[in-house]
Amino acid sequence: MNTVATAGAAAAVKTAFDRQGALGEDARVDRAMAGFACDFGALSALRLESCIHCGMCADACHFYIATEDPQYTPIWKVEPFKQAYKRESGPFAPLFRLFGFKRKLTADELGQWQHLLFDSCNLCGRCSLICPMGIDVAALIEQARHAMFEAGLAPKELYEKAAHQKRTGQPEDSAEPYRDKLLAIGRSHGVDIPLDKPEADVMLTVPRTDIEHYPEAVAALARVMSHMNVSCTFRSDGLVAENYAYYAGGREWQRDISRRLIEQALACKVKVLIVPECGHAYSALRWEAAELYGRPLPFKVRHITEYLAAQLDAGKLRLRQAANGVSTFHDPCQLVRKGGVTESPRKLLRAMGVELRELDDHGAFAFCCGGGGGVLDIQRAAPLRYRAMESKLREVDQTGAQTFLTSCSDCRRTFDDGKRHFNWDKTPQSLLELIADHLGSAQEARS
């Protein structure tokens, strides 16, 4: 059950928040604290203990920079959990409880934090780079989202999509199943879609965003793999790359959704599972799936740009020169800052002779597009998201580049949405599509 309630006492301005389930108020708070504690260990405690309240993390976060509203200070976003940690499990918890230093939260107060933990955080990790104590603030926020989910306090869009994906494998109903859509994309783009092969070297997945919005990107993936003559397959029962439970904070659901892909990869004995152009899918599969699955994965997880850069080095990917003028590139946070896939896209661009003009803040320091972490899906977050993305669009404009590329379809969709909202004159393009359009012959690779 989902209801939207307006409540809360903690924040100066009360914001609406969503609730799931019919839990009593106390039970909600208890579940939140248990959810926070469930993946709580020494590292998380060290992070909470080390904060010196210097406030610098605010200066890294685009939500604070755009609004100058102190509630968007990254470490403030986990404040209720910091308090709860001190009261419940910190080194001096008994003292805190005995003297009543930290009061127990109410469910309403917790609900107020939904806006801070979901609507105004992309899990982009820029704040983790600025902290003089080295605290990975974004990791704490992700953990706090788990607690909110357990308490039935996730935004309804994320909760519903996660529930749907856990149940059916795709995050929402579609007129025809994604499997059929995939085959239709192959037919309409004249490209062979390898599907449900019993065995292959590589398993391909696809962003739901591409299926719904950018079918050319899906065709590009199939075309590039076919060009390299790689033994690969999509699997009907493990198609969707995104993991909406990762956004919503549902750890068990996240595990179940990842497991669907893992089991498909195991069934066809692949050596590599390819994450397409999707940043959060990469974080969920590359860095969290094995932990949730409970054992190391017997195959590698690679982002498509990483995989293609390696194939380029191996001489299997041949590229022609691209005559698309000066280009600039948006570094998706989950891939670059948080995932280390920094050099691969640049290597591919160089191989196509693309003149890259970097954004002022690029690589590890790039600002998020504003849509990451599920924010793009939360409707009520749109006005704030637009404010947070304005400076990013200005940075793109300042490069004077004719082509604006990225390697994450959610970033692409966020920029497309910004284009409509601001009447912006740039169109975000997929790096993978650029590659697919410039596949060369063996001769061209040598010349």
When binding is defined by CB under 6 A, the residue of 8, 35, 74, 418 that contacts ligand SF4 is: 74
Check if the beta carbon of residue 417 is closer than 8 Å to that of residue 392: no
Residue 117 vs 230, nearer CB to ligand SF4: 117
Near another protein by CB under 8 A: residue from 17, 36, 40, 113: 40
Please tell me the distance from the alpha carbon of residue 314 to that of residue 307, in angstroms, as a whole number: 11
Q: Show the binding pattern over residues 127-166: x = contacts another protein (CB under 8 A), - = does not.
A: -xxxxxxxxx--x---------------------------
Shorter beta-carbon distance to another protein: residue 102 or 197: 102
Q: Which of the choices another protein, ligand SF4, none does residue 121 contact, using the CB cut-off of 5 to 8 A by kind?
A: ligand SF4
Contact predicate 387/421, CB 8 Å: no
Binder of ligand SF4 out of 37, 66, 105, 123 (CB under 6 A):
123
Among 223, 338, 346, 412, binds another protein (CB under 8 A): 338
Taking the chain, what is the end-to-end CA distance rounded to the nearest angstrom? Answer: 62
371 binds ligand SF4 (CB under 6 A): no
Distance between CA atoms of residues 356 and 361, nearest Å: 14
Report DSSP state, residue 372.
G
Q: Which of 20, 83, 106, 122 binds ligand SF4 (CB under 6 A)?
A: 122
Q: Alpha helices of 151-294 — where are they, by DSSP H?
A: 156-168, 178-189, 208-213, 215-227, 244-248, 251-267, 279-282, 289-293
Strands (DSSP E) contained in 305-402 are: 326-330, 355-356
> Smallest gap, in angstroms, from Cβ of residue 66 to ligand SF4?
11
At residue 111's C-alpha, the angle toward residues 106 and 114, to 5°, is: 145
Q: Which is nearer to another protein, 83 or 429 (CB)?
A: 83
Calculate the CA 275 to chain-centre distance.
12
Q: Are 195 and 234 in contact (CB under 8 A)?
A: yes
- Residue closer to another protein, measured from CB, 46 or 326: 46
- The residue behind tokens 């650029």 is 434
Q: How far is CA 360 from CA 201, 400, 412, in A?
A: 39, 12, 19
> Residue from 286, 303, 346, 438 that binds another protein (CB under 8 A)?
286
User: What is the total count of residues that contact ligand SF4 (CB under 6 A)?
Assistant: 27
- Contact region for ligand SF4 (CB under 6 A) — 72-80, 150-158, 216-224, 250-258? 72-80
Q: Are 191 and 219 in contact (CB under 8 A)?
A: yes
Which residue ranges make up the site for ligand SF4 (CB under 6 A)? 51-57, 60-61, 63, 74-75, 77, 121-127, 131, 133, 135, 137-138, 141, 368
